[in-house]
Amino acid sequence: MPPSGLRAVCLVVALICLVSPARAQLIPIKTVPIAQGDQFQLFPANNLGMGSASIALADSLADPFANPALGTRIAGARLFSSPTLYSVSRNAGGGRSLPFAVLARSRVWYGVLALALQQVDPSRPPQPEGLFGLGVAVPDAIRPVPVDPSPIPGPDLRAHGNEYAFAMVGRDLPGTRTSIAASVLWTGLHALDGVDLLYAGSQRVAQNGHALDLRLGAVTAWRGERGDRTLEALVLRNDFAATHTVTYADTYWDPGVEAFRQRARIEHNVDQTQTWGLHFKYTVPLTAAGWRIGWIGTLNRSSHPKIPNYELANVPAIPRDPGYTTAFDFGIGVSKVRGRATFGADLVYEPIRSYTWADATEPMSTVSGDTLAAGAKTIENHFHFSNAVLRLGAGRDIELPGGGKLFGLQLGLMLRSVHYNLSQRDNVQDLQRRLTTGWMEWTPTWGLSLRFAEFEIRYAGRATHGAGRPQSAFSPVTWAGRDVALAGGTILAAPNGPLNLTHVNTTTHQISLSLPLR
C-alpha cells in the first residue's frame, strides 16, 4: 500500500517551469500535483485569512502590490513588516521572509518602497513517518567504491537567500476620480523552492537569476446611487532569467581499478520566460446594503525561449526548448461588508492553452524511415486546461473592552481544481498520445488581528493540501532523488514517465505589523 498521496504520475518530455514570483495576475500552471512552497507570499494581505478572496473585496494592504494604481487608497504614511515563514510537511523544505515597506502619500502623489530578504531551505525528499521508514540500505556490492580522489561536492544543505526590492509611484489625476501608477519589483534569486529536486540525482544546484516585474495600472471610480463603481486596468511585463549550475555525481565503471566510481559532471541550465499580461476588474455595489459584485478578466501570454534540461525520473538531456502559453482567467466575486462583519467569495475559471515542443539537435531517423532535420520538432505537446478556483472567506471584528481596540477573526477556504487534456505527438516514434487528468488542491486559511488606534498587528495562516513531493527511492545506482518537484511558479510537464509523490502539506504563517509614520 503506497503512502497516502503516492501517485503514479507519468511524466516527461517537455517541461516548462515559470519560476518567476507568482504574483497576482500571473496565472499559475501545473500539470502534476506537486506541492509548491509558499515562497512568494511576501507582502501582507488583509484577506489572507479569508481564502484570499479579492475580486469584490478590497484589500488595502495587498492591492497596491497587485495593481499599483490601487495605492490611491493609501491615506497616510505607514510602515509595515510582515515576517512570513512556510514549511513543507514531512521535513521536505521551508523558508522565511522578512519584508519592510513604507507607504506614503503627499497630496496627489503616493508611493511604496519595500525591501525583503528571504531564506529558503534546501528541498528534501519527504521523510517517512514512523519508525519503519528509515530508508533502504544500499547493498555494499553495488555501492560505488569511494576511491576517486577528485572532489565531488556533497549535497548542499545550506539555506540560500533571495532579495526583493519593490517601488511604486502613483498619481491621482486632479478633477477626476482616476489614478494611475507604475511599479517595479526586482528579485535577485538564488533559491527557488524545489528547484533542487528538479534535477534528479544531482548533488547540488546553485541558482543565480533575477526576475523583473513591471506594472502599469489605472483605476477609476464613478459615484452611483448605491455606491462607487470602480474599473481597474493593468498591463504587466514579467521577465525571468536564471541559471542553474547543477553538479551530478555520475557512477561509472573504472577498468583501471575494476570498480564502480563516481565523477563530477557540471551542467549549466538557463531558464528564461517572458510574460505579458493584461487585466481588468470591474466592481459595482448591489442593491442590498453592503453587497458588491465584481468581475475580472486576465490574459497572460508567455514565451519560453529557453528552458532547463531537467532530470526527470532519470531521463536526461531531453531538449525542452521553446514553447508558449496563453492563459486567461474570468472571475466573478461578491462581497459583503456590514458593520464589523465581512464576507467575500470568488469564482474564477481559467482556460489555458499551451504548446511546447522539443527540437531535434541533429538529424534524426523516425520509425517510419523518414529523417527529421536538425531543428525539427520531435515531440509536440498541446495542453488544454480548464481550471477553476473558488475562494471563500468571512471575518468579524469584535470590539474589546477599553475602547479603540478591535479583535478580528478570519476563516476561509481556497479550492483549486486542475483539469487538462494533453495531446502529445511524437514525430520520431510516430505516436499520438492523449491524456485527460486532474486533481484538486484545497487550502483552509485563518487569521487573527488586533487593531489599536495607532497600529495593527495581524496573524494569518494557510495550509495547502492535495499535492505531493517526490519521495526518496532506492536506486541501484544510488541516485537519491529520482523524481521531481518544483515550487514557486508554474509547472508544465508532458506526461511520459513514472513519478512517485508523497502527500505533503504546505503551511504558511504570516505576522504583519503596521505602524503609522508621522
> Which residues ranging from 218 to 277 are in contact with other proteins (CB under 8 A)?
250-256, 258-261, 263
Read off the C-alpha cell for 213.
Answer: 516585474
**Count of residues interacting with other proteins (CB under 8 A):** 77
Is 4 one of the binding residues for other proteins (CB under 8 A)?
A: yes
Q: Which of 315, 347, 376, 450 is in the footprint of other proteins by CB under 8 A?
A: 315
| Closer to other proteins by Cβ: residue 135 or 316 | 316
Rounded distance, CA 482 to CA 354, Å? 26
In the complex, the smallest distance separating the C-beta of residue 12 from other proteins, rounded to whole angstroms, is 6
Rounded distance, CA 376 to CA 426, Å? 12
In the complex, the smallest distance separating the C-beta of residue 387 from other proteins, rounded to whole angstroms, is 13
| Closer to other proteins by Cβ: residue 263 or 405 | 263
Residues 6 or more apart in contact with residue 146 via CB below 8 angstroms: 262
Q: How many residues does the chain have?
A: 518
Is 154 one of the binding residues for other proteins (CB under 8 A)?
A: no
* b/e burial code for range 415-446 (CB count within 10 A of at least 16 → b): bbbbebebebbbbbeeeebebeeebebebebb
Amino acid at the residue 364? M
Read off the C-alpha cell for 190.
Answer: 538564488
Is 352 one of the binding residues for other proteins (CB under 8 A)?
A: no
Contact of 395 with 345, CB cutoff 8 Å: no
Read off the C-alpha cell for 191.
Answer: 533559491
Is 366 one of the binding residues for other proteins (CB under 8 A)?
A: yes
Q: Which residue matches cell numbers 506526461?
A: 495
Is 392 one of the binding residues for other proteins (CB under 8 A)?
A: yes
DSSP state letters, 389-452: EEEEEEEEEEEPTTSS-EEEEEEEEEEEEEEEEEEEEETTTTEEEEEEEEEEEEEEEEEEEEE-
Contact of 468 with 459, CB cutoff 8 Å: no
Q: Which of residues 113-152 bind other proteins (CB under 8 A)?
A: 142
In the complex, the smallest distance separating the C-beta of residue 127 from other proteins, rounded to whole angstroms, is 19
| Closer to other proteins by Cβ: residue 95 or 344 | 344
Rounded distance, CA 46 to CA 91, Å? 29
Contact of 503 with 4, CB cutoff 8 Å: yes
Rounded distance, CA 58 to CA 481, Å? 43
Q: Which of 22, 32, 114, 198 is in the footprint of other proteins by CB under 8 A?
A: 32
Q: CB under 8 A: which stretch of 189-197, 206-214, 234-242, 358-366 binds other proteins?
A: 358-366
Q: CB under 8 A: which stretch of 10-18, 21-29, 228-236, 296-304 binds other proteins?
A: 10-18
Q: Which of 266, 367, 400, 517 is in the footprint of other proteins by CB under 8 A?
A: 367
Q: Which of 353, 319, 343, 346 is nearest to 330 (CA)?
A: 346
In the complex, the smallest distance separating the C-beta of residue 234 from other proteins, rounded to whole angstroms, is 30
Rounded distance, CA 375 to CA 462, Å? 46
| Closer to other proteins by Cβ: residue 222 or 252 | 252
Q: Which of 152, 332, 498, 515 is in the footprint of other proteins by CB under 8 A?
A: 498
| Closer to other proteins by Cβ: residue 245 or 371 | 371
Amino acid at the residue 13? V
| Closer to other proteins by Cβ: residue 282 or 439 | 439
Is 10 one of the binding residues for other proteins (CB under 8 A)?
A: yes
In the complex, the smallest distance separating the C-beta of residue 63 from other proteins, rounded to whole angstroms, is 22
| Closer to other proteins by Cβ: residue 349 or 439 | 439
Site pattern 40..79 for other proteins (x: CB under 8 A): ----------------------------------------
Is 424 one of the binding residues for other proteins (CB under 8 A)?
A: yes
Is 303 one of the binding residues for other proteins (CB under 8 A)?
A: no
What are φ and ψ of residue 368, in 5° steps? Answer: -85, 0
Is 286 one of the binding residues for other proteins (CB under 8 A)?
A: no
